[in-house]
Amino acid sequence: MDIGAHAPVGDSSGAFDQVQRLARELLVYKFAIDELMTKLRILSEEFDFVHQHDPIEHITNRVKRPEAILEKLRRKGLPTDVDLVAEHLDDVAGVRVICPFVSDVYRVEAMLRRQNDVQIVRTKDYIAEPKANGYRSLHLIVRIPVFLSDRVEHVKVEVQVRTIAMDFWATLEHKLFYKYDDQVPEGFADELSSTAAMAAQLDQRMESLHQRVHGGS
């Protein structure tokens, strides 16, 4: 049943049930983010205490809006059925981790991999292999256990780990494309690629300075 459509007369209870189920699904995704945020904060504080260096600058998170979830199912050619969300969508819950240096990006990944209750489902390394437009970031799809009153659910969360320079470029790139509604001026792509290369060079130079000051810490 399409929960984005009006239910026929006499079937309003079915539509209400679908909406309630979607609301509960989103609540579980929020809980998964809460669990992951707690883990990341502990890792950040503990690493800083031991090594006098915090590998995490800041963390943001979000859960997709219901209408965005339904629209993504439609784009995939799927029915807007709540039961399909967990199976077919990996980015309903998202956490973005901003790190000072490139080495910190992989340090955060390694720390997450050592967590016994965190399952790394998939990795896309856009730092080692940037996208054509210059975008760089490390993307992880992880499963986080959420302990509910009557069961345990293992919920997928998309984790994007990137440096300050990568985040600066990606944020402004998104704003520019939003302004132009994806109809960008001629030569725009080349300029973006060039600025991405500059951001990558900045990361390399700052990493080098960091290693000179702190060594392997």
- Looking from the CA of 42 toward its CB, the CA atoms found within 13 Å total 9
Alpha-carbon separation of residue 68 from 156, 158, 214 (angstroms): 17, 16, 44
What pLDDT score does 24 carry? 77
What pLDDT score does 3 carry? 35
Helix (H, G, I), strand (E, B) or coil at 24: helix
Amino acid letter at 52? Q
Cβ atoms of 112 and 118 within 8 Å: the answer is yes
Rounded mean pLDDT of the chain? 88
What pLDDT score does 118 carry? 97
Active site residue 71: no
What pLDDT score does 9 carry? 41
Q: Where do the domains of the chain lie, and which CATH numbers do they carry?
A: 13-163 (3.30.460.10)
Identified catalytic residue from 158, 173, 186, 207: 158
What pLDDT score does 184 carry? 67
What pLDDT score does 182 carry? 59
Residues of the chain with pLDDT under 70: 1-19, 178-184, 216-217
What pLDDT score does 15 carry? 55
What pLDDT score does 1 carry? 31
For β-strands 93-99 and 152-163, DSSP reports them as parallel
Would you state the structure tokens that stand for residue 70, as one six-digit string? 């339904």
| Sequence-ordered list of residues with C-beta below 8 angstroms from that of 163, at least 6 positions apart, any chain | 98, 99, 100, 101, 102, 104, 105, 203
What pLDDT score does 141 carry? 98
What pLDDT score does 7 carry? 39
Helix (H, G, I), strand (E, B) or coil at 181: coil
